[in-house]
């Protein structure tokens, strides 16, 4: 059983996070929270999202799983305005999600969750931690997009750097420690990533002002930030590229 009311902005935040990687997702619902874990089709990136019951205006649930088509929910929210409240009700008998917004009621069939995997977040030792303004990362990504399809993230005890090198041009975003919210690094680390994946993840953050990056040399990058007025939490994991590719 699942019945809830939530502001449209909160659902939009969730959609932005998830649609970066997948079109369908399995929601795990308990009396306290909604969670999801998903891996993109290429198995390059992963998202792990948690939304507490306190993120909702009203929330009543027992343990269940819902397979959701992200595009269908996105379609419903096209007419939403700031402050709109969305009503969500699971019709277990018909396996449908009933979505009510303003004077519109949408009954959408749910996706069968039987074939959906339950990916596990790997336990990684990522010793370097950087808290950086989202606006700084967005600026770096926009500057890099015309240069190459990959980007290097480099962190040392004194600075963080995003480097993009193409055949003829290059770009560097360099932020010394005093321009970062925090920097924990015992040594210099460097990893190379797909600019498309990394850029789309950063663009999905929306209004969140800061993001935590966890790094190690030639390891995945973990990106963490809060959503829904700090009542939700997102983790992205992106696999590295090999430097000699």
CATH code of the domain in which 56 resides: 3.10.150.10
Residue with tokens 């999202």: 49
Is there a single domain that holds both residue 143 and residue 187?
A: yes
Q: How far apart are CA 241 and CA 51, in angstroms?
A: 31
Q: How far apart are CA 5 and CA 84, in angstroms?
A: 10
The residues, any chain, with a CB within 8 Å of residue 213's CB and separated by 6 or more, are: 129, 130, 131, 132, 153, 155, 160, 221, 222, 223
pLDDT at 243: 62
Q: Is 121 part of a structural domain of the chain?
A: no
Residue with tokens 């950063």: 202
Q: Is 166 part of a structural domain of the chain?
A: yes
The residues, any chain, with a CB within 8 Å of residue 77's CB and separated by 6 or more, are: 8, 11, 12, 15, 86, 101
pLDDT at 99: 97
Q: Is 36 part of a structural domain of the chain?
A: yes
Given 109, 144, 173, the domain boundary residue is 109
pLDDT at 127: 96
Domain count, the chain: 2
- Residue 186: burial class (beta carbons within 10 Å; 0-12, 13-18, 19+): exposed
Q: Is 118 part of a structural domain of the chain?
A: no
Q: Is 114 part of a structural domain of the chain?
A: no
CATH number for the domain that contains residue 173: 3.70.10.10
Q: Model-level pTM greater than 0.85?
A: yes
Range of the domain at 105: 2-109
pLDDT by position in tens, the chain (length 245):
999 999 999 999 999 999 999 999 999 999 999 999 999 999 999 999 999 999 999 999 999 999 999 999 999 999 999 899 999 999 988 999 999 999 999 999 999 998 888 898 888 999 999 999 999 999 999 999 999 999 999 999 999 999 999 999 999 999 999 999 999 999 999 999 999 999 999 999 977 899 999 999 999 999 999 999 999 999 999 999 876 54
Q: Is 27 part of a structural domain of the chain?
A: yes
Given 74, 109, 144, the domain boundary residue is 109
pLDDT at 245: 47
Is there a single domain that holds both residue 134 and residue 37?
A: no
Q: How far apart are CA 153 and CA 194, in angstroms?
A: 11
């Amino acid at each position: 059983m699942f019945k809830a009311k939530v502001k449209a902005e909160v659902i939009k935040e969730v959609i932005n996070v998830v649609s970066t990687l997948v079109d369908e997702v399995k929601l795990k619902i308990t009396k306290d929270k909604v969670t999801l874990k998903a891996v993109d089709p290429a198995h390059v990136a992963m998202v792990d999202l948690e939304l507490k019951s306190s993120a909702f205006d009203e929330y009543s649930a027992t343990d269940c799983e819902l397979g959701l088509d992200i595009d269908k929910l996105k379609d419903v929210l096209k007419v939403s305005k700031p402050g709109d409240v969305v009503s969500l009700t699971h019709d277990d008998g018909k396996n449908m999600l009933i979505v009510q917004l303003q004077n519109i009621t949408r009954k959408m069939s749910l996706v069968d969750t039987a074939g959906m995997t339950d990916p596990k977040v790997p336990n990684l030792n990522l010793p370097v931690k950087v808290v950086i303004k989202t606006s700084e990362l967005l600026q770096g990504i926009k500057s890099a997009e015309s240069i190459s399809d990959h980007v290097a993230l480099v962190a040392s005890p004194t600075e963080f750097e995003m480097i993009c090198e193409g055949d003829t041009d290059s770009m560097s975003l360099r932020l010394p420690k005093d321009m970062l919210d925090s920097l924990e690094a015992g040594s210099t680390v460097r990893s190379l990533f797909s600019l498309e994946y990394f850029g789309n993840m950063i663009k999905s953050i929306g209004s969140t002002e800061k993001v935590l990056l966890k790094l190690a040399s030639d390891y995945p990058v973990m990106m963490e930030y809060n959503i829904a007025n700090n009542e939700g939490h997102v983790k992205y994991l992106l696999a590295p590229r090999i430097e000699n590719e």
